[in-house]
Amino acid sequence: MTENAPGGAAADRAAPPCRYDDSHPSTSASLNAYVTGYTNVKKLKGASLLPLSCVLIEQGPTDIEFFPDFTGGYLSQHSEGTLRHQGRAQTPPFEATFLTLGFTPTKATMVLEQTGPMTMDAAGETSFVTLFTRLETRVRVPLVLRVTALEVNGTPLEVGSACRTEKPLRSPEPEPGKFPGDHLVLSGSSTHQPPDQPVGYLLSSGGPLTGEVTIPAFTGCGTGGEDLDRLLTASVSGPGNHIKQIQGQTCAVQVFNENECTEDLQPRDIPVPER
Contact yes or no for 253/26 (Cβ under 8 A): yes
Contact yes or no for 5/270 (Cβ under 8 A): yes
User: Is residue 7 very low, low, confident or very high in pLDDT (cuts 50, 70, 90)?
Assistant: very low
52-101 per-position pLDDT tens digit: 999 999 999 999 999 999 999 999 999 999 999 999 999 999 998 877 66
pLDDT at 43: 83
pLDDT at 3: 54
177-203 per-position pLDDT tens digit: 999 999 999 999 999 999 999 999 999
CA 161 centroid distance within chain: 24
Mean pLDDT of the chain, nearest integer: 93
The answer to whether residue 173 scores a pLDDT higher than 60 is yes
Other beta carbons within 10 angstroms of residue 232's beta carbon come to 25
DSSP labels, the chain? -EEEPPSS-GGGTTS-----BTTB---TTEEEEEEEEEEEEGGGTEEEEEEEEEEEEEPPPEEEEE-TTSSEEEEEEEEEEEEEBTTBSBPPPEEEEEEETTTEEEEEEEEEEE-S-EEEEEEEEEETTT--EEEEEEEEE-EEEEEEEEEETTEEE---S--EESS--B---S-TTTS-SS-EEEEEEEEE-TTSPPEE-BTTTBEEEEEEEEEPPEES--STT---HHHHHHHH-EEEEEEEEEEPPPEETTS--TTTB-TTS-B-EEE----
**Total residue count of the chain as it appears in this document:** 275
The answer to whether residue 5 scores a pLDDT higher than 60 is no
Give exposure, 127-154, as e/b (b: 16+ Cβ within 10 Å): eeeeeebbbebbbbbbbbbbbeebebee
User: Is residue 153 very low, low, confident or very high in pLDDT (cuts 50, 70, 90)?
Assistant: confident
pLDDT at 46: 80
Could you give the C-alpha distances from 156 to 4, 103, 108, 262, in angstroms and in order?
39, 17, 10, 40
Before 174, cis peptide (omega within 30)? no
The answer to whether residue 102 scores a pLDDT higher than 80 is no
Instruction: Indicate the number of domains in the chain.
Output: 1
Contact yes or no for 133/126 (Cβ under 8 A): yes
Structural domain that includes position 117: 2-271
pLDDT above 90 coverage of the chain, percent: 83
119-132 per-position pLDDT tens digit: 999 999 999 999 99
pLDDT at 2: 53
218-270 per-position pLDDT tens digit: 999 998 778 899 989 988 999 999 999 999 999 999 999 999 999 999 999 99
The answer to whether residue 38 scores a pLDDT higher than 80 is yes
Nearest to 261 by CA among 7, 4, 1: 7
pLDDT at 193: 97
The answer to whether residue 156 scores a pLDDT higher than 80 is yes
∠ CA(56), CA(12), CA(262), 5° rounding? 45
